[in-house]
Structure 1
Amino acid sequence: MNVNQERIAKLQQEMQKEGMDLYLVPTADFHQSEYVGDYFKARAWLSGFTGSAGTLIVTKEEACLWADGRYFIQAAKQLEETGVTLMKMGEEGVPTVEEYIEEKLPEHGCLGCDGRTIHVAEGKEFQEILKKKSGSLKCQKDLVGSIWEDRPEMSKESVYLLDTKYAGKSREEKISEVRAAMEKAGANVHLISSMDDIVWLLNIRGNDIVCNPVVMSYVMMNMETVNFYVQEEAVAKEVKEELEKAGVALYPYFQVYEDVKNLKETDKIMVEDVCTNFTLYESIPQHTEVIFEKNPAAVLKGNKNPVEQENIRLAHIKDAKAMCRFIYWLKKNVGTGEITEYSAAKKSEAFRREDADCLDLSFETICAYGPNAAMCHYAPTEDECAKVEPKGFFLIDSGGQYWQGTTDITRTIAVGELTQEQKEHFTLVLQGHIRLAMAKFLYGCSGANLDVIVRAPLWERGLDFNHGTGHGVGYLLNVHEGPQNINWRLNNKGRRGNTVPFEEGMLTSNEPGLYLEGRYGIRTENLMLCKKAEKNGYGQFMEFETVTWVPYEREAILPEMLTKAELDWLNAYHKHVYETIGPLLGEEERAWLLEATAEIKEK
């Protein structure tokens, strides 16, 4: 019995004591964050699967883990010999988490979980399933915590202030805007659990999740007061004083669970069901009316203001300089020494951190050579990484957190000779990427509308990629942010943003790919700002402004596969890359960039 089997067996013993038939362990903290701190990595600790998303269910007889298409290969490898069965989400014949619970739960059975790690909508759905079996939901106990003896402490990193020269608006202005949205929704109280919305609202940042500059906290506000529930030792005196000037009062982190119990009958509290944990929701008195609305901060935060937009453009120039230097370094040195995926990741980080405005990475760098690149979210470690050989493709997906904004870029680099098939596949991915960058569309279009534009070149050849095409990106915040995303699947849970219309100022990724298991992976990613185009009798047209400025791999492009318009866009892009980034580089790097961005002729 290995360590994961032992841990699951201990959990099953605790389940038996509590009379639970199934126990749910999601990938979540108390704020429904996408990425979580070490204290909250219960699913990874139990199962051995370390991906950033996945759900574990343990029954009396078995343990099953649900992972999405980004992690099929990684999860299969990590779950070997753990006794945990991999459930490939979306695959034919694979039940959903909800279907599995309904099937496995006996009559009058009990489903257990830590209610702070599921959101309101999930809790309600589980209750509906349980009704069919006359079952019960026990969500008051953290059973994993009871057996996790060396569990890391909850993070309480220092909070710091974000100046308005970066934020573009004062915290007082933002609070006023949120109150206006509350009034419009008919609410006099608003409970905010999502940490990125909170730090945006208060013009603060922290470091309580690796690479995500957020603060473990809640906010409950009304038309007069803003209560900020935070770990007090994380807030220095000068930060507290600045917040108090804006009418923000500080309270202990867990006090919010008691304070919501004191809401009045006349109160109408606004919460977002997919951001608020079920235990917190259940603490609201039954006599208090709950209004389910998207956090106004999420919408306001997603539409970058003019100051943020200008800063974002500057951040991407800084980032492009680092990435161009990295690509030159890689091409120059591959085959001459011991370059591994891990050492390459560290080198790319070092180039970014040379800029004084770079505060951190925006996520763990994905450096993947050859077959490893077929795992979408593969990340090397010092002990487990491949050597980069002078042949085939090398993929790097990386980004930085700058005072001027958050970056996210993927490039697939030729480190040696390529096959004709590799070039064709690279060009198909690039073609879809260019088509989205060139897209012009009427206001009201969403990611579900636009995704077909990107996938068409691949679909025409019976190919596809098993992840979304694009996600929103924060400002010195989470690299994955709503409210928008680009994904054609209308029934995707947790992907409601693919029906949100694109608004001026939204920052979104453009990242199609193609992954051939055991062979290679390709992904090409830029970030784009949405802006208004012309307005006429047909309505308001919208378009994208690309803000990432790093060359594509010329030697992997088959120009005969591109239309004239696509090739013209590509050459104009490369011309701008050289003119903008070239002057920032050393002589040798600049000479390489001139060649890397040279005009590609029609064939």
Structure 2
Amino acid sequence: MFQSFEDVANPSTGAPRLARLRERLAVAGLDGFIVPRADEQQNEYVPPAAERLAWLTGFTGSAGIAVVLTDQAAVFVDGRYTVQAAAQIDPAAFSVCSLTDLPPSRWLGERLKPGLRIGYDAALHTIASVRRFRAACEAKGAAFVPVAANPLDEAWEDRPALPLGTVMLQPIELAGEDVAAKLSRLDALIGDAGADATVLTQPDSIAWTFNIRGTDVAHNPVPLAFAVLHRGKRPSLFVDGRKLSNAVRDALEAVADVAEPGAFGPALEALGARGTTVLLDPEWVSDLVARRIADAGGKIVEGRDPVILPKAVKNAVEIAGTRTAHLRDAAAMARFLAWLDIEAPKGGLDEITVAERLEAIRAETGALKDISFDTISAAGPNAALPHYRVTRSSNRPVARDEILLVDSGAQYQDGTTDITRTIIVGEPTDEMRDRFTRVLLGHIAISTARFPEGTSGAQLDPLARIALWRAGLDFDHGTGHGVGSYLSVHEGPQRISKLGTTPLEPGMILSNEPGFYKPGDYGIRIENLILVTAPAIPDGGDRPMLGFEVLTFAPIDKRLVDVDLLGRDGRDWLDAYHAEVFAKVAPLVDQETRTWLAEATAPIVR
């Protein structure tokens, strides 16, 4: 299994570990310390050695930050994790606060006094994050100071070692563009920014640039490494040599100077000593990188990581690969949903058995490299937690007349998938049908949207919510995130959300996943992946419009649909989508699954 169901959170460890950290702070002459959920690469997903926030607080979500003072401590999470944080964190040791309603820099500023010294590990904080905290401290006459050694690491006695996952080449047949061509494109972007070099710390940016993949981070096929791209010169790649086979080393040394990670810091200082102008992304590059360059005499130009946008816009080969991956995954999903429809009404299933069965079916494709994230298998009230992760202690039976929400994905070498289906076991209530249909209407609105060039995800996001808004309802997460090509299942800068300001471009892949959550009762989410298509003039129109191609093909549970509320246009879309699902998937599955699929995709009763 790629997924573990062990319950690693233990609220009882929070208080003693907090006390140990405070002892270290006292020795270092610090009055506080900031603990982000981050590693030196600023990953969303981090290796065990970087799970500092989880070790200290017990909170295991993918986003959060703790602020520790001598007499107070708080953990800040977003709306996805409010319930989870409350369950995992000892309230006697830490307050749980909202990242959006009360940003940590503001919480800290309200508690500071002149002369206090707040410490931070410069390798774990972005340039932008440090800027916010420093401003809050200086406004109150306090100091925000980088530490020579992380006091939490000193207190963490059994901290795991850094990973040494094997690095592999992503062949040109799947990458679609060789390293030299990518470096040439990036060279021009560095020049456009007025810089002589740029530093890459994001593992997926490095993986894309050098056509490599890795196994250092669970569910994300990336290696932990650093890189410096020099304008007009060979790039430098800093990666532990123990991760490289002779063949991979030879391929990398043909396009880059390869060195050990220990040489990265001195290389930054050498850039500074030569007076180099270096492009750094303040939202992704650590403060330590900027300090080492600037302190040595270099000039920093702030701008977006030049890899981010080229990586997001998939080439024709990557698009063909993701279509193939999604058809393979569609056949696995059809087998899984058919099995679930037969077995769930009998009783005896629980959330873990559901997740295990789905992973096993995907593994039987022979192409599964990993799952793309821990499967969210959530029954009944657990489905109301958008980022629920089932453990041995939380595992719930799949009961009749309850909703089961399964959000899952796969990593295949030709593409990354992410799909959510909401299934009723037994009979839904009228309210469930109403909410499900409103979510489906939002999903259809995004799928069928046509929009001019320059349109951002923030402009499209309301389309997913209007049917819910009409009933006084909403959901507290974005409608869609970007997805990589055998890379991270969460990829920027493209997204469909209130904060999605990047214009959508042809070749970008996003999720389309509106939802509704009734705490303590049930949750609903319908998710497909979609591809931004090239502009074309709609029939009868006079301006070219972009649109979306649906990549995901799996039945949507018709038993949860309110036919009248869905309306004729909605019914036509659902019938057409289901007809396409059957046409594409039926030839790929066995006869028993095909029989089930025919019923699951039959036209809706009108």
TM over 0.5: yes
Measured in 1, the distance between the counterparts of 2:261 and 2:438 equals 50
SS at match of 2:494: strand
Q: Which residue matches 1:305?
A: 315
Measured in 1, the distance between the counterparts of 2:134 and 2:342 equals 59
Structure 1 residues 508-552: Cα deviation after superposition (integer angstroms, max 9, x where no partner):
000000111100010000000001232499643110000000010
Q: CA deviation at 1:138?
A: 2.3
Q: CA deviation at 1:208?
A: 0.9
| Of 136, 143, 157, the match for 1:129 | 136
Q: CA deviation at 1:82?
A: 5.4
In the comparison of the two structures, how many residue pairs are matched? 590
| Of 86, 108, 117, the match for 2:124 | 117
| Of 471, 491, 501, the match for 1:499 | 501
| Of 190, 215, 218, the match for 1:210 | 218
Q: Which residue matches 2:35?
A: 25
Counterparts of 1:200-349 in structure 2, within 5 Å, are 200-222=208-230, 223-246=232-255, 248-263=256-271, 264-286=273-295, 287-349=297-359
Measured in 2, the distance between the counterparts of 1:419 and 1:535 equals 43
Measured in 2, the distance between the counterparts of 1:120 and 1:601 equals 56
Structure 1 residues 250-288: Cα deviation after superposition (integer angstroms, max 9, x where no partner):
111132112111124542111111111111111113432
1:9 and 2:9 correspond = no
Measured in 2, the distance between the counterparts of 1:395 and 1:295 equals 36
Q: Which residue matches 2:470?
A: 460
Q: Which residue matches 1:50?
A: 60
1:565 and 2:569 correspond = yes
Measured in 2, the distance between the counterparts of 1:313 and 1:3 equals 46
8 Å contact from structure 1 (residues 120, 281) kept in 2: yes
8 Å contact from structure 2 (residues 276, 298) kept in 1: yes
Q: Which residue matches 1:532?
A: 534
Q: Which residue matches 2:545?
A: 541
Q: Which residue matches 1:423?
A: 433
1:380 and 2:390 correspond = yes
Measured in 2, the distance between the counterparts of 1:27 and 1:539 equals 45
Q: CA deviation at 1:241?
A: 0.2
Structure 1 residues 165-223: Cα deviation after superposition (integer angstroms, max 9, x where no partner):
11010111111111111122221111111110000000000011100011110001212
Counterparts of 1:372-521 in structure 2, within 5 Å, are 372-488=382-498, 490=499, 498-521=500-523
Q: Which residue matches 1:107?
A: 114
8 Å contact from structure 2 (residues 122, 286) kept in 1: yes
Measured in 1, the distance between the counterparts of 2:376 and 2:404 equals 10
8 Å contact from structure 1 (residues 123, 278) kept in 2: yes
Measured in 2, the distance between the counterparts of 1:538 and 1:130 equals 55
Measured in 2, the distance between the counterparts of 1:100 and 1:118 equals 18
Measured in 1, the distance between the counterparts of 2:361 and 2:158 equals 36
Q: Which moved further from structure 2: 1-10 or 312-321?
A: 1-10
Which residue type is aligned with residue 408 of structure 2?
S
SS at match of 2:123: helix
1:582 and 2:589 correspond = no
Q: CA deviation at 1:2?
A: 3.2
Which residue type is aligned with residue 385 of structure 1?
N
Measured in 1, the distance between the counterparts of 2:434 and 2:573 equals 19
1:179 and 2:183 correspond = no
8 Å contact from structure 1 (residues 262, 285) kept in 2: no
Q: Which residue matches 2:3?
A: none
Measured in 2, the distance between the counterparts of 1:250 and 1:588 equals 53
Q: Which runs of 5+ in 2 are unaligned?
A: 1-10
Structure 1 residues 384-411: Cα deviation after superposition (integer angstroms, max 9, x where no partner):
3011112221000000001110000000
Which residue type is aligned with residue 548 of structure 1?
T
SS at match of 1:499: coil
Measured in 1, the distance between the counterparts of 2:92 and 2:394 equals 19
Q: Which moved further from structure 2: 526-535 or 365-374?
A: 526-535
1:96 and 2:103 correspond = yes
SS at match of 1:442: coil
8 Å contact from structure 2 (residues 57, 90) kept in 1: no
Measured in 2, the distance between the counterparts of 1:299 and 1:418 equals 43
Q: Which residue matches 2:94?
A: 84
Q: CA deviation at 1:370?
A: 0.3
SS at match of 2:68: strand
Measured in 2, the distance between the counterparts of 1:418 and 1:233 equals 55
Q: CA deviation at 1:237?
A: 1.1
Which residue type is aligned with residue 578 of structure 1?
F
Q: Which moved further from structure 2: 501-510 or 19-28?
A: 19-28
Q: Which residue matches 2:6?
A: none
1:167 and 2:171 correspond = no
8 Å contact from structure 1 (residues 405, 475) kept in 2: yes
8 Å contact from structure 1 (residues 308, 475) kept in 2: yes
Which residue type is aligned with residue 512 of structure 1?
P
Measured in 1, the distance between the counterparts of 2:362 and 2:525 equals 21
| Compared CA separation, residues 440 and 163, structure 1 to 2 (3 A) | same
| Compared CA separation, residues 579 and 363, structure 1 to 2 (3 A) | same
8 Å contact from structure 2 (residues 294, 300) kept in 1: no
Measured in 2, the distance between the counterparts of 1:337 and 1:254 equals 56
1:150 and 2:158 correspond = yes
| Compared CA separation, residues 81 and 288, structure 1 to 2 (3 A) | closer
4+ long deviations beyond 6 Å: none
Measured in 1, the distance between the counterparts of 2:557 and 2:194 equals 53
SS at match of 2:346: coil
Share of identical aligned residues, percent?
36
Measured in 1, the distance between the counterparts of 2:26 and 2:543 equals 62
SS at match of 1:66: strand
SS at match of 1:256: helix
Q: CA deviation at 1:319?
A: 0.6
SS at match of 2:131: helix
Q: Which residue matches 2:361?
A: 351
SS at match of 1:334: helix
Structure 1 residues 46-101: Cα deviation after superposition (integer angstroms, max 9, x where no partner):
1111111111111111221111111111111112455221113334xxx2111011
8 Å contact from structure 1 (residues 21, 105) kept in 2: no
Measured in 2, the distance between the counterparts of 1:65 and 1:57 equals 7
Measured in 1, the distance between the counterparts of 2:306 and 2:313 equals 11
8 Å contact from structure 2 (residues 586, 594) kept in 1: yes
Q: Which residue matches 2:374?
A: 364
Q: CA deviation at 1:465?
A: 0.6
